[in-house]
Structure 1
Amino acid sequence: MLGLLHTSPVHVPVFDALRDTDHPGLALRHHVDEGLLDRARRAGPDVGAVRAVLERAAAEGAHAVLCTCSTLGGVAESLATDVGVPVLRVDRPMAAAAVAVGPAVAVVASVASTLGPTVALVEEEAGRAGRRVDVRAVLVEDAWERFAAGDREGYLRLVTAAVERVGADGADVVVLAQASMADAATRADVPVPVLASPRPGLRAAAAVCGFPCPDPGTA
């Protein structure tokens, strides 16, 4: 069984659908705490609260926990030893894939608190791969307010427009910093790859739980 830490309930059906397509039979248990992101945006990550969610997931039988919030991913990952099960951040496989494409990486986010952790992750993966990267961080103004108000289509329109701008402005690859942005990867009309985190992130977590991975070419 895989536990998932979300900061929005909209991610639950997304990961359920990916599980059904790519990893049938893998049991998922979702833990949603919207307050974790709210507090992180105001005052930084609440490490104790993140640890409490991870410990609850482990106590309920999770073989691993996948954190789907990019703002909290680094903190969650660092707590694996404390909770006694592997803890993965959903965006790490995406970051590794991005640095393999080319050095000019555009990171697009709708929450400012996500930009720093995602840029740092891309740079970390570049270091591990022995590659040079030039990361450009782009905040999509007013998009998060649309998301918070339940206007998902308006949110995705703003994100898609931002992706198209940076994708046509010298980037080798565009990274969508938040799982909520994933649909913009297929909507944007750009000449470069646009990478989203949910599918590769779930694939990595499923592998830790002993489930076979689909052909990466289907992602």
Structure 2
Amino acid sequence: MQKKTLGLIHTSATLVPVFLELCTAHLPNVNVFNIVDDSLIKQVIANGELTPGVARRVVNHVGAAEAAGADHILVTCSSIGAAVEQAALLTGVPVWRVDQPMADRAVREGTRIGVVATLPTTLQPTSDLVRRRAIAAGKTIELESVLCEGAFEALMGGDSATHDKKVADALTSLASRVDVIVLAQASMARVVEALDPSVKKIAILSSPAIAIQQLATVL
């Protein structure tokens, strides 16, 4: 039986080793290749939104992954999720948003759902996705979205300690009000291990592992 091929499209080179480790663990018999274009997220941040030009390039990257032989394509950036959905309509193989399996799990596990991000350009599309997946599941939810002001800038400036503290404070505060928390960016996941055990009693979901585990069920 011929091996399946998964094409990964990233907006940051830092995500390549993260997904390589996950694919090695959960998709050992699947060929994997990466396409990286960090100008996409830089332009989204600079413009404060997903622009038509960026969306068009996302569609082009997805088309290139299909042309390269991908049987499934996973786009690993939440900020460009709307463009991923557009690309899926134009592509002959399944195209996945990295955050959809996470959103579906959040909707299954709770009715009070928190979404945390360090960028407004990621917070809005992730929150919107959770709302839409709840509607698709026929479930009524309460959604609280929290932006960790200054955390992203601190991380980009090399101050990971300030980033981690801001994210930890947001998670600790939100945990008392919700059933489940969605991390809109994979970069926040490392903060979870250091949280107080009382905070970790609720589910805190991060998209990379959940997405790859979901793909493992179909690949």
Give the TM interval when normalised to the shorter protein. 0.7 to 0.9
Q: Tell me the number of residue pairs that the alignment of Structure 1 and Structure 2 aligns.
A: 208
Residue 44 (structure 2) aligned to one of 19, 40, 47: 40
Residues 117-196 of structure 1: pairs in structure 2 closer than 5 A = 117-168=125-176, 170-189=177-196, 190=199, 191-196=201-206
3-state SS of paired residue (2:12): coil
Q: Which residue of 2 aligns with 1:80?
A: 88
1:2·1:28 contact (CA, 8 Å) conserved in 2? yes
Partners in 1 of 2:149 and 2:207 — Cα distance?
A: 21
Task: Note the residue ranges of structure 1 that are not aligned, 5 or more in a row.
Answer: 211-219
Alignment of 1:205 onto 2:215: yes
Distance 1:19 1:152, change over 3 A: farther
C-alpha deviations, 1:95-114, integer Å up to 9, x for none?
A: 11111222211100011011
Percent of aligned positions that are identical: 38
Residues 16-27 of structure 1: pairs in structure 2 closer than 5 A = 16-27=20-31
CA RMSD of aligned residues (A): 1.7
1:102·1:173 contact (CA, 8 Å) conserved in 2? yes
TM-score normalized by the length of structure 1: 0.88
C-alpha deviations, 1:133-189, integer Å up to 9, x for none?
A: 111110011111133234445433332222112113x11111101122222333333
Partners in 1 of 2:56 and 2:125 — Cα distance?
A: 19
Alignment of 1:9 onto 2:18: no
Q: Which amino acid aligns with 2:170?
A: A
1:88·1:205 contact (CA, 8 Å) conserved in 2? no
Partners in 1 of 2:24 and 2:162 — Cα distance?
A: 28
Distance 1:150 1:13, change over 3 A: farther
C-alpha deviations, 1:5-52, integer Å up to 9, x for none?
A: 111111111111111222212222111111111212233321111112
1:7·1:35 contact (CA, 8 Å) conserved in 2? yes
C-alpha deviations, 1:35-93, integer Å up to 9, x for none?
A: 11121223332111111211111111111111111111231122123232211011111
Residues 36-115 of structure 1: pairs in structure 2 closer than 5 A = 36-43=40-47, 44-45=49-50, 46-115=54-123
Partners in 1 of 2:86 and 2:216 — Cα distance?
A: 19
TM-score normalized by the length of structure 2: 0.88
Cα deviation for residue 206 of structure 1 reads 3.8
Task: Note the residue ranges of structure 2 that are not aligned, 5 or more in a row.
Answer: none
Distance 1:156 1:62, change over 3 A: farther
3-state SS of paired residue (2:178): coil
1:110·1:143 contact (CA, 8 Å) conserved in 2? yes
3-state SS of paired residue (2:108): helix
3-state SS of paired residue (1:83): coil
